[in-house]
Structure 1
Amino acid sequence: MTDAGSTTQPSRFDVDGVGLVYEDAGSGAATPLVFIHGWTANRHRWDHQFEHFAKSRRVLRLDLRGHGESDKPVERYSIDGLAADVLRLLDDRGVDRFIPVGHSMGGMIAQTLALAHPERVERLVLVDSVSQMVYSRSRGLVMTLSKSVPYNTFVAINIQRAFKPGYPKELIKQYIAASQATPRHVVMSCYDAMRGFDVLDRVREIQVPILILHGRHDIQFPPAQARRIAANCANAKVEIIDTGHECPVENPQAVTDAIEAFLAEG
């Protein structure tokens, strides 16, 4: 299972009393990559990509506030707040220019960083993400269930739906267990933050090249939403991968190869 861990030793960084676990590896003159995971996930969603790119450049990733091994305060979570945490970490690590690579909610955070700090973002990679939260009817029904079913059941339903049919059930069970470790107050507050996310009318302000990777079988955020982002950006391109919503772990090599090619474009 990809979420099992990596060979890099994690460190902790304090943001106003909240501890965030992160990894900083690799070196070189190339602009650092910053990998940002999604809702209920953790930094290990990026194990394949992180370890691959650490061989040739500096790479960073973190467990977002409320997720993974980071602290999980009871508070209102927001996309802006999570983006601020990422920026504080980069400032502390002496990273000025960077390339955010965000999956799902992490892609929302990446867009927020690109819009708020265009002088620092060199390129942008969005994986199974959106610029405006639009839920399908089925997703709306799942969220309604959150009020009437046990929390662990609700999480299990969400994670099960994230994978393309046929993905190994034993691996899905491990991802479900990892997501269930995210406290309910974090999950629901972050859901509210995503529900209110809408920068579709602003993404055209992002002038840097954008790579949009999206799973063909993604029913969480259908591929049409990826194309909506590209339609609003002059320098965006979409690549569809034969996966569900969890591209980085369902087909990690395809994601890594696509990012590698994108970076090679100069």
Structure 2
Amino acid sequence: MSGTITPVTMPKFGLAMTEGKLASWSVKPGATVKAGQEIADIETSKITNGYESPAEGILRRQVASEGDTLPVGALLGVLAPESVSDEDIDAFVKKFNEEFSSGEESAAGESAPQRKTVAVGDLDLSVLESGADHGGVPVLLIHGFGGDLTNWMLNQPALAETHRVIAFDLPGHGESTKDVGDGTPAGFAATIAKLIAELGTDRVHVVGHSLGGAIALELAGAHGDTVASLTLIDPAGLGTDINMTFINGYIEADRRKTLEPVIQYLVHDKSLVTRAMVENIIRFKRLDGVVKGLRTIADVSFPDGKQGFPLRSVLEAYKGPVQVLWGEDDEILSVSGADGLPASVKVTRYPATGHMPQLEKSSEVNRAVSSFIG
């Protein structure tokens, strides 16, 4: 009867994830669940995220307990119809754990893509590529202010199933050089154009989030032939308002107690912000040049507490396909920025979602991007 049993395993949220903590179960044993229904919360060093059921069925067994930290691929639970006996489930769990312990189930993680450093002029940029075997036009992911390439941890693996996907840390962020140049979206766009050439491609589908959305628009404006399509997620550049409490707090707060409420502005579900996430940001900001670079970006991008780079005209002039995805409860950049766009722009608004739909609504965003770029 093992063919009718579906394992529920520790998911891999991001290419670098090796383990996760089962924060909580959302359903009880015996509950019938649908494919895609959230059945548990998984906590990593980056974020807590809902785990969706891989199939429809009855949760017959919770193998892992809340609070357990387990490697990617470890057995969390078992889905099976009522017709499967408890003895068959016991045998399935025993065999799965024996094979997993022997390494048969975890071998796939050994070939996970690794970061590389790409020299772009005087700058060293940290790049993570996946799906390199796919032909066609690659996907380029541009994160926002204060972020890094791990902001795409729930998106890059899914998109890499069909496309070459390039994520990288902007200058001044993550593991890249801390020199931000003039700190303008146009300046970053010029650097990205050079990065694209260094990576051996001449055309990319661009997905930009927040400040990364403004950078994506600047890239499309200056190098339109390079940009095959634009997906803008809660982008800067389409309005004037900006939450300066977040911007200044992100730069200035140096303790978990003061930084945590600032980071919570990013999401609708505040429980997604973990202690580990906040402490990682604090450690990052202690690196030489980080705070100075962030302040440079903020000063030139948000003068007088407003967005200083109106880019609606650039969007209107761009000849390629554009879609805009926005969380309705964004506390950083108002969803009103999605109003009044050209009819050719596909706009999707996500309810009960904050500034980071790619994390809070990762499955929906992945489907939206995949269907849009083909």
Shorter-chain TM-score bucket reads 0.7 to 0.9
1:224 corresponds to which residue? 336
Task: Number of aligned residue pairs: give it.
Answer: 256
Asked whether the 8 Å contact 2:230–2:320 carries over to 1, the reply is yes
Question: Which has more radius of gyration?
Answer: 2
Report SS of the residue matched to 1:13: strand
Q: C-alpha separation between the residues in 1 aligned to 2:202 and 2:137?
A: 9
Does residue 201 in structure 1 map to residue 201 in structure 2? Answer: no
Shift of residue 176, structure 1, vs aligned partner:
2.9
Shift of residue 2, structure 1, vs aligned partner:
5.1
Q: C-alpha separation between the residues in 2 aligned to 1:92 and 1:74?
A: 19
1:37 corresponds to which residue? 143
Supply the AA of the counterpart residue of 2:326.
H
Gap change, CA 1:158 and 1:191, over 3 Å in 2? farther
Gap change, CA 1:143 and 1:123, over 3 Å in 2? closer
Does residue 189 in structure 1 map to residue 292 in structure 2? Answer: no
| 1:17 aligned residue (110, 122, 126) | 122
Report SS of the residue matched to 1:111: helix
Supply the AA of the counterpart residue of 1:256.
N
Does residue 95 in structure 1 map to residue 201 in structure 2? Answer: yes
Deviates more, 1:81-90 or 1:59-68: 81-90
Shift of residue 107, structure 1, vs aligned partner:
0.6
Supply the AA of the counterpart residue of 1:14.
A
Asked whether the 8 Å contact 2:246–2:263 carries over to 1, the reply is no
Gap change, CA 1:86 and 1:60, over 3 Å in 2? same
Supply the AA of the counterpart residue of 1:237.
K
Report SS of the residue matched to 1:48: coil
Aligned-residue CA RMSD (Å): 2.5
2:155 corresponds to which residue? 49
Q: C-alpha separation between the residues in 2 aligned to 1:62 and 1:46?
A: 10
Identity of aligned residues (%): 25
2:281 corresponds to which residue? 179
Does residue 59 in structure 1 map to residue 165 in structure 2? Answer: yes
Q: TM-score if structure 1 supplies the norm length? A: 0.86
Query: Which structure has more RCO (C-alpha within 8 Å, separation ≥ 6)?
Result: 1
Report SS of the residue matched to 1:29: coil
What residue ranges of structure 2 are gaps of 5+ in the alignment? 1-11, 18-111, 303-307
What residue ranges of structure 1 are gaps of 5+ in the alignment? none
Q: TM-score if structure 2 supplies the norm length? A: 0.62
Asked whether the 8 Å contact 2:240–2:310 carries over to 1, the reply is no
Asked whether the 8 Å contact 1:2–1:44 carries over to 2, the reply is no
Q: Deviations over 1:20-41 (max 9, x none)?
A: 1002221323211000111101
Report SS of the residue matched to 1:167: helix
Asked whether the 8 Å contact 1:74–1:185 carries over to 2, the reply is no
Matches within 5 A, 1:107-126: 107-126=213-232
Shift of residue 151, structure 1, vs aligned partner:
4.5
Shift of residue 202, structure 1, vs aligned partner:
2.9
